[in-house]
Amino acid sequence: GENVEQHPSTLSVQEGDSAVIKCTYSDSASNYFPWYKQELGKRPQLIIDIRSNVGEKKDQRIAVTLNKTAKHFSLHITETQPEDSAVYFCAARPGAGSYQLTFGKGTKLSVIP
């Protein structure tokens, strides 16, 4: 089955700096890569996603890049703000017809004011 590795497990940045979280996946047939944000005590919510036919996607201060050859994808947050502090999970979905997501173990991001 699919295996998703996520790094780092914790990340602290100064407010205004950038944060990068990296994930690798094992199944070359995986075609969809979402990122979920879970604030303390709240439910995970989708913040951005990318399909395998796209190399980069951006939404305001967040962006995701995908390298299919190397089987890794990354989340980039620019101009970080205290409200970005949360646990971020990457995930991968195996090929067509599957709606099953395999999640990474999460990255706890702390933005220091």
Partner 1 sequence: DGGITQSPKYLFRKEGQNVTLSCEQNLNHDAMYWYRQDPGQGLRLIYYSQIVNDFQKGDIAEGYSVSREKKESFPLTVTSAQKNPTAFYLCASSIRTGGSTGELFFGEGSRLTVL
Nearer to partner 1, 32 or 68 (CB): 32
Smallest distance, partner 1 to C-beta of residue 12, A? 17
| Site residues, partner 1 (CB under 8 A) | 1, 6, 9, 32, 34, 36, 42-46, 49, 51, 89, 93, 97, 99-106
Nearer to partner 1, 78 or 110 (CB): 110
Smallest distance, partner 1 to C-beta of residue 44, A? 5
End-to-end CA distance of the chain: 41
Q: Are 99 and 32 in contact (CB under 8 A)?
A: no
Nearer to partner 1, 3 or 18 (CB): 3
Return the closest-CA partner of residue 60 out of 34, 75, 78. Answer: 78
